[in-house]
Chains A and B, each alone.
Chain A
Amino acid sequence: MVGPQYDLLANPLGVIRSTFDTAISTGSDPTSLNGRDWGAIDHFRHFLSDQSQLSQVPLLTAATIKYVKPNTLVRFRGMIQDMLGNEFYVGTFKDGSVWRTNKFTDFAQYPIPVGSSVHTRIWERRLLYCVPIPGLSPWAESTPETVADVSMDCTSDQREKRRRGDDESSDMHVENDEVVEGSPNTKRMREGERPSPASQSQGAVPETAGSCTNLIPGLNGNSSNCIVKIYDTPESELRLNDIFEFVGILTSDLELQDDSEDRDLLNEFSEDPLHHFPPNKVQVPRLHCLIHRKLSILDFLQNKPIIEPKPDMVKSIRESLLKHLSTVLGNDDVAAHFMLLHLLSKVQARVDAIAVGKFSVNFTCFSKEIASIFGKQLNHSVKNLVPFTHCIPLTVEYLNTASLAPKKNYDKNRLETGVLQLAEGSHLIVDETQLEAGTLNSVGVENASLLKNLMEMQRVDYDFRFYKMEMATDVQLLVLSEGKSNILPADVIVPIRPSATNCSEAVPAETLEAWRWYLGTVRQLPHCMESGMEKMVEGDLVEAIQADRSLSIQDFSRWLTMGRLMSLSYGETSMSLEHWQMAKELERLRRERLK
């Protein structure tokens, strides 16, 4: 296998090539390989299984994109916003007598012989369009220090130049090339950039890695989206709106974009999604993905305390969090309890149109004054606790103008994102206190029904113009309104009774971290119910319905969800009688308020 002489971080392509050569020389038939892995991925997987190594890989963000070198290993964390379909490429070809591979690159390192279909094999890869996770709280963003370390060596002289380039035009790679080479002919420059076959000894470090000058051209700071090219992965593994961490090779195909002369020939097929990305020449970086990993909320904690959820510890965290929530809500204990359950809820199953486990809360009695005090506090503390949050100030104007649902733009062949394209587990606050009487136009009506659907079924209709496609989501919805919200029928309505207006106290960072860990962990716990308990609960329900005929299935569902969340909040995986009683008591207190 590959010796240590290859720098997996700086020259991953070298490793890929050399493993390919090894594989071929050990008898693999390139014609029957069909794009399957030949052992390169294992190499990287092994290398990156070590956490410290993984953190060495620079993270691609808007801030770091200036310093990351092309054709090196980078990480990208994002949400899959759109899928651009498959792309066919020449996977392997025979260059003279040697088989070469194009996997994980955009360009052939060696010229592909034209027309020799005998010696080329087409493979395919998937294209995903990824965006930074919408509503990512500041605390959940990874600190870019690791990147800074890596790129430190070449940033000092680079920065100055960059800045100049930034100021001038987005077409700065030209500028840059001129600075470096003094050559006015960019075209030749680019040719030069591609290492000539002669200088390419096996696995040699590409020139790019040697100097700091060839940072990715054309990229500027505000494009933090990324096109990820996926190899060897079953389709079902990556789904829309999933959050992933991709580790792969960064490239930019400015050349692909730059051939404007070539357009007349290509324009007929220019529905190609990639052609529409750059508004002018802003590039979206491409990542040839080697390894991907689905992220959970826990992955966003800065220092991951790897602890088993011990009951007493969970309990103490729960108490302190409850206290905090109660403070935020003006010493309203009942509301704080509901808030806690709400933060722990997630859709655990879908049975037809019913999303079991959702627990949306509507805090009522939020008059304007109360909203001005507590709304902000609540928003702030939710942001501090949950990694992905979003807040919608619901006004007539907002409803009439906002594009909530993602919409397919067929001219660009892209899915244009909407506010409600949210990652699983996002938290959404809908502030209805600002809502005043007004007329909804057709957009407004559509948006209102979208919100209602989201609330009732945890589904968002994506607009594909000719039809709507239902996408299942899992969003925690919190509605703040003065009276019971009619637009957004939440699962539970809690009139809020603040008794004090405490300013939110500063919370120590460790405590916050513990809370985040608690919310993230407890939420994921599995849950079941023992049969004895089941009987008991059933009996309770029957009793309740016989006492009050107005109870509906929805009420029962809510009770059970509450019971489950209540026991979860103690870190228990099965519901006990005590927790069931607590849930019922909580419900009783709430009902009293409603009277």
Chain B
Amino acid sequence: MASNSSPMDFDPSSPDIPPSSPIPNTVSTPGRRRRRQSTTPSAYGTPQGNRSRLASSDATPTPSRHRRGGGIPSGRRVPATPTSTSDDVPMSSEGGDGYDMDDAGPTYVWGTNISVEDVNDAIQRFLKHFREKSTSQGGIDDLDTEGKYEKLIKQVIELEGESIDVDARDVFDHDPDLYTKMVRYPLEVLAIFDMVLMNMVTRMKPMFEKHVQARIFNLKTSTSMRNLNPSDVERMISMKGMIIRSSSIIPEIREAIFRCLVCGYCSDPVLVERGRIAEPTVCLREECQSRNSMTLVHNRCKFTDKQIVRLQETPDEIPEGGTPHTVSLLMHDKLVDTGKPGDRVEVTGIYRAMSVRVGPTQRTVKSLFKTYIDCLHIKKTSKSRMLVEDAMEADNGQGRSAEEVIFSEEKVAQLKELSKQPDIYERLTKSLAPNIWELDDVKKGLLCQLFGGNALKLATGASFRGDINVLLVGDPGTSKSQLLQYIHKLSPRGIYTSGRGSSAVGLTAYVAKDPETGETVLESGALVLSDRGICCIDEFDKMSDNARSMLHEVMEQQTVSIAKAGIIASLNARTSVLACANPSGSRYNPRLSVIDNIHLPPTLLSRFDLIYLLLDKADEQTDRRLAKHIVSLHFKDHETMEQDVLDISTLTDYVSYARKHIHPQLSDEAADELITGYVKIRGRGKFTGSSKKVITATPRQIESLLRLSEALARIRFSEWVEKHDVLEAFRLLEVAMQQSAMDIKTGTIDMDLITTGVSASERIRRENLIQDTRNIIMEKMQIGGRSMRLLEILEELKNQSPGNEIHLNDLRNAVSTLASEGFLSTAGDSVKRT
């Protein structure tokens, strides 16, 4: 290929270390560069990029354009670079003076409508005058402020860097025509770009020795790997993908030096030509001229790094029934090893095709082409499926660094349009697991969990989580697991685990020995991995107590602290927990409290904002709907059904946009409502007797309410939490609490059920029992007198109050309480007064 596209020899070897990269530029090779410069006389001090990007391949015929035909046409052919290149033999004579700005008449790149002068000027204008929108508002002609790229160039000079990153969108904003040309004829335009850049650099710092290159990124359109076709060849493209394999680093020879074995004469550097080095057969020294005596001097040759990287489509781009496509990337010098297998990257480069020769000596080429992308810029993108709010923590200063905005403007407009619909809340609810029928309130709760509240960090260091934890408890076969699966699919990132198979360390973090190095390393568990996501835990009740106890910290403090094997660390685990549990007796027993039904410690239970009971109630209405649902599942055309529902990708986008961009604040009105509502709920606990103090809400609930109302505001893309958000939050909480915190004996909500596992009425009952027992013992026994059997006391109690049902167990508890008071002592089943 070298023979063909050679007029441009922009040097891909310079580093591509974006300014934001934390890697220090330690690999600079001034020595080598200097040497190169000295060997190649160049009028402009540009180091000779004497290697075309494709030094080792054959011609690339392009689908519709041609740089070189049978003869040189009338339009003057322009060597795009000032340096003469060894590659392009017939043209090289012209190369030296091509970069003369005073050249009369327009010069066109052959076969294109690119006028070198125009492009040159355009680039110059762009570099000099481009200002970011925010700064340019003062006036475009305001030349006092420095342009963005002039500043960058200065930075590069100071840092002795070798490239500057040029945002293609800036180019487009400034000069759409230039952008089009650049994308269409990247080889030519980039060469001119580099030239202009070098020109500017030398003007700013005449002694600057490095070759500064432009690295274009952030093209307006991103191509999908699947859609690459012959018309993309030789165009600038950008695409996303995942690196699956990178070759070892290949040293590629650029200049070879030969030495005569007979006389020791060293040849001039021989340059790579069409991928090969012409080894002199005869010693060039006139006195010697011995044949076949020249040998390569390895350590005087110049090599550059090259690497072939294989890029594969990301899973989301693969259509159903297809396998992922792959494409090769060619990386040079500083781009080498910038990505490792498994990284998701966005690559900007030039799509090239290389023909395959039948043999090294034959000129016939096969009809096949190998395609690859000549990499210009590579950017790692985040691995998460959905972008999550990282704005607070993104290393500010760098501005948009790792996580770029992925939403295009139209998409945002579309989402905003969607959010304006009055029934958006209902629509989203309906779109959430549309095939799980009913359970609207549960879905609303889950929706709130997806959107989440605002996390708050006070100056004092206290932090309040924004994540909403949800627990689903219910009978088997109420599609809890399906809901979980669905949320897992939708959530920004998250782990799905089953309680039975999870251990404490598996959930949090564990220390492992690296098999290769023998070092101890910290491996993240499910909760840490789902940081800023949702951790779905199925079969929560089957989890070992040990594992469950680890959740206490995670669910309120949102960190995981470990101290073992010399590693003491606190890892972030800002995750919402969505758990589901089966009642202990396989079916929910409505006569028992939640705590008794699921054997979960109240301390843990209280950390769930919403606890839903999914009970299989005998209700003809719901049964009928269920039947209808199933029948239609089997016999209806699914294409036509449920068009009203948002598809999962829109939903994901909607959620991620809201999470990232909407941070609602509490309006005064809403705050008032929150306060009065809370007081009202607390007040409800006092309605029966004065002695009975039922706690219907705790401060934890107020936090939950806040989070829920914030999530509800987010659903509407509203920056303010309104009164109706708060009301809906109250409703949601009440629905959840009514189910789970209902005191069965009295029918009121009792938070004590959740916080302590014992309802107030139960507590009163127990106290009464203790009192009764005490009375009986006082009556029947003397201190130090004879002992009494428990059954006798039970008998006595029953006689006293025939209405109450008293179990032996209750009595045992009462007796042990009395024993701890020192009122009596027990030995087996007999009680003795002390």
A residues apposed to B, CB below 8 Å: 31, 34-35, 82-83, 85-90, 102, 105-108, 111-112, 114-118, 120-124, 235-236, 239-242, 255-256, 259, 261-262, 265-266, 268-269, 271-272, 349-354, 356-357, 410-411, 413, 415, 464-467, 469, 471-472, 527-529, 534, 537-539, 541-542, 545-546, 549, 552-554, 556-557, 560-561, 564
Name the A residues within 8 Å of B628 (CB-CB).
538
Query: Do A556 and B630 contact each other (CB < 8 Å), given the known contacts A114-B365, A122-B61?
Result: yes
Assuming the contacts A108-B367, A242-B321, asked whether A467 and B315 have C-beta atoms less than 8 A apart, the reply is yes
Closest Cβ of chain B to A525, distance in Å, is 14
B66 within 8 A of A: yes
Given contacts A114-B363, A265-B357, A466-B244, 10 further A-B contacts (CB under 8 A): A87-B369, A90-B367, A117-B59, A269-B328, A271-B326, A464-B324, A469-B318, A541-B631, A545-B623, A553-B630
A261–B326 CA distance with the chains assembled, in angstroms = 26
Question: What separation, in Å, do the CA atoms of A464 and B326 have in the docked complex?
Answer: 12
Interface string of B304-338 (1 = CB under 8 A from A): 00101010100100111111111010000000000
CB contact between B367 and one of A107, A242, A353 (< 8 Å): that residue: A107
Report whether A85 and B482 are in contact in the complex, using a CB–CB cutoff of 8 Å: no
Contact across chains for B369 and A122 when beta carbons are under 8 A apart? yes
Query: Are A349 and B630 in contact, with the CB atoms below 8 A?
Result: no
A358 CA / B815 CA spacing, docked (Å): 60
Provide the residues of chain B in CB contact with A241, threshold 8 Å.
321
Please give, as numbers and ranges, the residues of chain B lying within 8 Å of A560 by CB-CB distance: 630-631, 634-635
Q: Are B369 and A31 in contact (CB under 8 A)?
A: no
* Residues in B whose Cβ lies below 8 Å from that of A120: 61
Q: Does B360 contact A (CB under 8 A)?
A: yes
Report the bound CA distance from A240 to B308 in whole Å: 28
CA distance A169 to B709 in the complex (A): 77
Find A268's partner among B230, B250, B324, B630 (CB 8 Å cutoff).
Answer: B250
Q: Which residue of B lies closest to A237 (CB)?
A: B321
- Interface contact tally, CB-CB below 8 A: 221
In the A-B complex, list the 7 residue pairs whose CB atoms are closest, starting with the nearest: A239-B321, A117-B61, A552-B477, A541-B627, A88-B369, A115-B59, A122-B230
Chain A interface SS verdict (over half): mixed
Residues of A within 8 A of B326 (CB): 85, 271, 413
CB interface residues, B 694-752, toward A, < 8 Å: none
24 A-B Cβ contacts within 8 A? A88-B369, A89-B367, A90-B367, A105-B367, A114-B363, A117-B61, A122-B230, A235-B319, A256-B366, A262-B358, A268-B56, A269-B308, A269-B328, A269-B354, A271-B310, A271-B328, A354-B633, A472-B320, A528-B635, A538-B631, A539-B627, A541-B623, A545-B627, A552-B476
Q: How far is the CA of A378 from the CA of B70 in the complex (A)?
A: 73
Chain A: CB-nearest residue to B632? A534
Q: Are B322 and A240 neighbours in the complex by a CB distance under 8 Å? A: yes
Residues on the A chain within 8 Å of B474, using CB? none
**Interface contact B244-A262, CB-CB below 8 Å:** no
In the assembled complex, B824 has its CB within 8 A of some CB on chain A: no
Contacts of B624 in A (CB 8 A): 538, 542
B476 and chain A: residue at smallest CB distance? A552
Contact in complex: A118, B66 (CB < 8 Å): yes
Q: Which residue of B lies closest to A89 (CB)?
A: B367
Closest-by-CB residue of A relative to B436 is A352
Q: Is A107's CB under 8 angstroms from B366's CB?
A: yes
| Contact, CB under 8 Å: B626 / A553 | yes
A239–B67 CA distance with the chains assembled, in angstroms: 39
B344 closest partner in A (C-beta): A466
Known: A114-B58, A268-B308, A356-B634. A121 touches B63 (CB 8 A): yes
A541 neighbours in B (Cβ, 8 Å) = 623, 626-627, 630-631
Return the chain B residue nearest A574 by Cβ: B635
Name the residue of chain A whose CB is nearest to the CB of B275. Answer: A265
Rounded to whole angstroms, the CA-CA distance of A304 and B631 in the bound complex is 36
Whether A351 lies near B633 (C-beta < 8 A) is: yes
Smallest Cβ-Cβ distance to B630: which chain A residue:
A556
The answer to whether A269 and B370 have CB atoms under 8 Å apart is: yes
Give the distance to chain B from A502, nearest Cβ to Cβ, in Å.
36
Contact A106–B367 (Cβ < 8 Å): yes
Closest to A273 in B: B326
Q: Which residues of A contact B476 (CB under 8 A)?
A: 552
Report the bound CA distance from A211 to B70 in whole Å.
41
Q: Size of chain B's interface in residues, with CB distance under 8 A?
A: 85
Mark out the residues of chain B between 566 and 622 whose CB falls within 8 Å of any chain A CB in the assembled complex.
Answer: 616, 618, 620
Chain A residues near B229 (CB-CB < 8 A)? 86, 124
Q: Which of B272-303 touch A at CB < 8 Å?
A: 275
* Bound form: Cα–Cα A560–B64 in Å: 59
A89 touches B369 (CB 8 A): yes
Q: CB-nearest residue of chain B relative to A103?
A: B367
The complex places the Cα of A561 from the Cα of B228 at a distance, in Å, of: 44
Q: Once the chains are docked, how many angstroms separate the CA of A102 from the CA of B366?
A: 10
User: Is residue B416 within 8 Å, beta carbon to beta carbon, of the partner chain?
Assistant: no
Q: Please name the residue on chain B nearest to A190 by beta carbon.
A: B358
Smallest CB–CB gap between B471 and chain A, Å?
A: 21
Q: Which residues of B contact A255 (CB under 8 A)?
A: 358
Instruction: Give the CA-CA distance A83 to B319 in the complex, in Å.
Output: 12
Once the chains bind, are A87 and B435 in contact (CB under 8 Å)? no
Tell me if B693 is interfacial: C-beta within 8 Å of chain A. no
Complex Cα gap A539–B626 (Å): 11
Instruction: Enumerate chain A residues within 8 angstroms of B368, measured Cβ to Cβ.
Output: 87-89, 106, 256
Contact in complex: B633, A542 (CB < 8 Å): no
Specify the chain B residue showing the minimal Cβ separation from A112: B365
Contact partners of A121 in chain B: CB under 8 A: 61, 63, 230
Question: How far apart are the CA atoms of A466 and B627 in the complex, in Å?
Answer: 42
Q: Is the Cβ of B230 less than 8 Å from the Cβ of A88?
A: yes
A189 to chain B minimum Cβ distance, whole angstroms, is 14
Residues from chain A with Cβ under 8 Å of B616 in the complex: 549
Whether A112 lies near B364 (C-beta < 8 A) is: yes
Distance of A257 from chain B, by nearest CB (Å): 12
What is the bound-complex CA distance between A553 and B622, given in angstroms? Answer: 13
Q: Is the CB of B627 within 8 A of A556?
A: yes
Do residues B230 and A124 form an inter-chain contact, with CB atoms below 8 A? yes
Tell yes or no: B128 within 8 A of A by CB.
Answer: no
Given known contacts A86-B325, A240-B321, A541-B627, A465 and B61 CB-to-CB distance under 8 angstroms? no
Q: Does B759 contact A (CB under 8 A)?
A: no
Across the interface, name the chain B residue whose C-beta is closest to A467: B315
Q: 1/0 per position for B634-656, CB-CB distance to A under 8 A?
A: 11001000000000000000000
Tell me which of B322, B341, B633, B638 contacts A239 (CB under 8 A): B322
Q: How far is the CB of A392 from chain B (nearest CB, A)?
A: 24
Q: Is B35 an interface residue (CB 8 A)?
A: no
Residue pair B320, A542 in contact (C-beta under 8 Å): no
Chain A residues positioned under 8 Å from B61 (CB to CB): 90, 115-118, 120-122
Question: In this assembly, does B264 line the interface, its C-beta being within 8 Å of a C-beta of chain A?
Answer: no
The answer, yes or no, to whether B106 is at the interface (CB within 8 Å) is no
CA distance A106 to B368 in the complex (A): 8
Interfacial residues of chain B within 351-380, with CB under 8 A of chain A in the complex? 353-360, 363-372
Smallest beta-carbon distance A254→chain B, Å:
12
Q: How far is the CA of A415 from the CA of B355 in the complex (A)?
A: 26
Answer yes or no: B245 CB below 8 A from chain A CBs: yes
Of A86, A265, A269, A466, the residue contacting B372 (CB under 8 A) is A269
**What is the CA–CA distance of A464 and B341 in the complex, to the nearest angstrom?**
12
For the complex formed, measure the closest distance between the CB of A590 and the CB atoms of chain B, giving whole angstroms.
Answer: 19
Does the CB pair A235–B322 fall under 8 Å? Answer: yes
Is B342 at the interface (CB under 8 A from chain A)? yes
B760 an interface residue at 8 Å Cβ cutoff? Answer: no
Any chain A CB within 8 A of the CB of B787?
no
Give A552 to B230 CA distance when docked, in angstroms.
55
- B242 lies within 8 A of A466 (CB): yes
B369 touches A353 (CB 8 A): no
A475 CA to B81 CA in the complex, in Å? 62
Could you tell me the distance between the alpha carbons of A82 and B322 in the complex, rounded to whole angstroms? 9
B549 contacts partner chain A, Cβ-Cβ < 8 Å: no
Give Cα distance in the complex from A227 to B620, angstroms: 59
From residue 219 to 247 of chain B, which have CB atoms closer than 8 A to chain A? 226, 228-230, 233, 242, 244-245, 247
The answer to whether residues A353 and B485 also contact, given A82-B323, A466-B341 and a CB cut-off of 8 A, is yes
A465 and chain B: residue at smallest CB distance: B244
